[in-house]
């Protein structure tokens, strides 16, 4: 008698790091004999990898549980990830949730699923965050044309608004040997681009072998990865300005594989607010980082994280940030509206900014981001770039990104998926994306 294989589906909230971990956990289920299906399909188990960076991510969890129950009311629902570590009991109380696993337990999820019967109450297995002191390597594969490769986890910084150290623990790194092994495994799958990810990747090397000192540096990581055969593109995800060193910028400018794209969190253009946030730099350092990138790579794309509505942010402080960003040679913004998080110092601060004011400021910066992106795209018209096409048919078009993160569009052609082509950027379309003409008709790879 053949036993029918159980089906498992995954939903990921939050960052690239979560995507890399979901993918690794999913491979664990496959190795245990499960079939992975889409979250919209009927499954025996639904696993939701949660995020706690914003209040919105918290609220979305309940909606996603309801989606799963609508497809299969009898399915077993498990919650993992940052929100599951911070507020396990709260998630366990959500109707339909059967299992909640914290920071150290999530990678052993198949050990906890012996019986797929629905529980009357969510079962919680959550550690003290001090116990999250070991490293589990992860990478995403098979989900996208690019892979997210986790190289670091946790954070030793004490930013007053952030719950990540409470959710993920101390800063610790994968071994250089294992990062290289994972990168080779990814390249052997035919994936053309790898994005390095972590909580604080510039701190790479700390805790590499379970101790607190740095065995290697981030610079050593990028220079070593650059030599891996078969990798076409490497992209650095978010890196703190105080950890982005000149040697790394200079190396990327001459690298075989690392692309001219940096995402550097700012959070505020006011030194006063940066102080309240306990960030480890002032705006002057940020100016210096942007200047260094643009001097070595004038065509580089620079993305910026910024938080609006932090406690104590007056109209003057906000305008200081707005004007600072307006004058900087950057390419786009990721705008976060400040939301109070439990067990953070910022949540206890005075001079709380009203929510309608936060929303207004957020809208202003999103408008500035659109203006900055348009100006950056216009500066690239007439240049030759290399595009990597992605796998989704969006209303009859295929999209892709150049090495310096210009998003281009072309009529849908499945043969273009996951191929690299040399192109010349020609014009910006009505939707803000760039049209092009092919310089080399044959794919580079």
Residues 307 and 349 in one domain: yes
Residues 180 and 265 in one domain: no
User: Is 444 within a domain?
Assistant: no
For residue 180, what pLDDT is reported? 95
Of the residues 380, 402, 417, the one at which a domain ends: 380
Using a 10 angstrom Cβ sphere, with 0-12 exposed, 13-18 middle and 19 or more buried, the burial of residue 190 is exposed
Q: What is the domain-level CATH number for residue 293?
A: 3.30.750.200
Q: What is the domain-level CATH number for residue 117?
A: 3.40.50.12160
User: Is 445 within a domain?
Assistant: no
Residues 33 and 84 in one domain: yes
For residue 225, what pLDDT is reported? 96
Residues 183 and 211 in one domain: yes
Alpha-carbon distance 225 to 217, whole Å?
A: 12
User: Is 20 within a domain?
Assistant: yes
Q: Please give the structure tokens belonging to residue 3.
A: 């036993």
Strands 45-50, 76-81: pairing kind: parallel
CA atoms within 13 A on the CB side of 375: 15
Residues 358 and 406 in one domain: no
Residues 47 and 158 in one domain: no
Question: CA 72, 20, 169 angle in degrees (round to 5)?
Answer: 105
User: Is 160 within a domain?
Assistant: yes
Residues 142 and 227 in one domain: yes
Residues 373 and 407 in one domain: no
Domain count across the chain: 4
List of the chain residues with pLDDT < 70 = 1-3, 53-55, 57-58, 117-118, 120, 127-133, 142-144, 210-211, 440-445
Residues 166 and 277 in one domain: no
Of the residues 259, 276, 310, the one at which a domain ends: 259
For residue 3, what pLDDT is reported? 58
Q: What is the domain-level CATH number for residue 237?
A: 3.30.750.210
For residue 2, what pLDDT is reported? 44
Residues 141 and 114 in one domain: no
Residues 426 and 314 in one domain: no
Residues 162 and 236 in one domain: yes
Of the residues 380, 404, 421, the one at which a domain ends: 380
User: Is 443 within a domain?
Assistant: no
For residue 1, what pLDDT is reported? 40
User: Is 283 within a domain?
Assistant: yes
- Expressed as residue numbers, the domain containing 410 is 384-438
For residue 64, what pLDDT is reported? 93
User: Is 301 within a domain?
Assistant: yes
Alpha-carbon distance 150 to 136, whole Å?
A: 9
For residue 111, what pLDDT is reported? 87
Beta carbons within 10 angstroms of residue 41's beta carbon: 11
User: Is 47 within a domain?
Assistant: yes
Q: What is the domain-level CATH number for residue 401?
A: 2.40.50
């Amino acid at each position: 008698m053949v036993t029918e294989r159980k089906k498992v589906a995954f939903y990921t909230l939050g960052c690239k790091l979560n995507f890399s971990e979901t993918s690794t956990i999913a491979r664990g289920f496959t190795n245990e004999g499960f079939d992975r299906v889409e979250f919209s399909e009927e499954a025996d188990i639904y696993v939701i990898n949660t995020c706690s960076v914003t209040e919105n991510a918290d609220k979305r969890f309940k909606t996603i549980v309801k989606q799963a129950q609508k497809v299969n009311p009898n399915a077993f629902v498990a919650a993992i990830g940052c929100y599951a570590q911070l507020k396990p009991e709260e998630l366990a109380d959500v109707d339909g949730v059967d299992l909640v696993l914290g920071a150290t337990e999530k990678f052993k999820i198949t050990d906890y699923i012996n019986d797929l019967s629905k529980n009357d109450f969510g079962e919680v297995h959550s550690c003290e965050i001090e116990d999250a002191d070991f490293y589990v390597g992860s990478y995403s594969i098979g989900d996208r044309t690019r892979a997210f490769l986790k190289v670091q986890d946790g954070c030793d910084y004490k930013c007053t608004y952030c719950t990540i150290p409470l959710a993920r623990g101390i800063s610790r790194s994968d071994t250089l040997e294992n990062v290289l092994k994972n990168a080779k495994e990814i390249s052997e799958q035919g994936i053309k681009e790898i994005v390095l990810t972590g909580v604080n990747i510039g701190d790479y090397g700390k805790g590499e072998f379970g101790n607190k000192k740095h065995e290697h540096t981030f610079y050593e990581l990028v220079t070593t990865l650059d030599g891996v055969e078969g990798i076409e593109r490497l992209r650095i995800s978010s890196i703190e300005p105080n950890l982005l060193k000149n040697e790394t910028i200079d190396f990327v400018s001459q690298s075989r594989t690392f692309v001219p794209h940096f995402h550097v969190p700012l959070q505020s253009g006011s030194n006063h607010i940066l102080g309240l946030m306990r960030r480890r730099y002032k705006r002057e350092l940020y100016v210096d980082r942007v200047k260094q990138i643009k001097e070595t790579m004038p065509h580089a794309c620079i993305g910026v994280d910024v938080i609006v509505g932090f406690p104590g942010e007056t109209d003057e402080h906000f305008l200081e940030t707005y004007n600072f960003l307006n004058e900087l040679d950057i390419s786009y913004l990721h705008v976060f509206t400040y939301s109070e998080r439990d067990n953070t110092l910022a949540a206890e601060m005075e001079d709380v900014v009203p929510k309608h004011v936060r929303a207004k400021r957020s809208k202003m910066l999103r408008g500035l981001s659109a203006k900055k992106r348009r100006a950056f795209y216009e500066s690239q018209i007439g240049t030759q770039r290399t595009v990597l096409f992605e796998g989704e048919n969006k209303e009859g078009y295929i999209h892709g990104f150049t090495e310096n993160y210009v998003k281009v569009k072309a009529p849908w052609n499945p043969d273009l998926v996951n191929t690299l082509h040399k192109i010349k950027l020609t014009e910006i379309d009505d939707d803000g994306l760039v049209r092009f003409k092919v310089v080399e008709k044959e794919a580079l790879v």
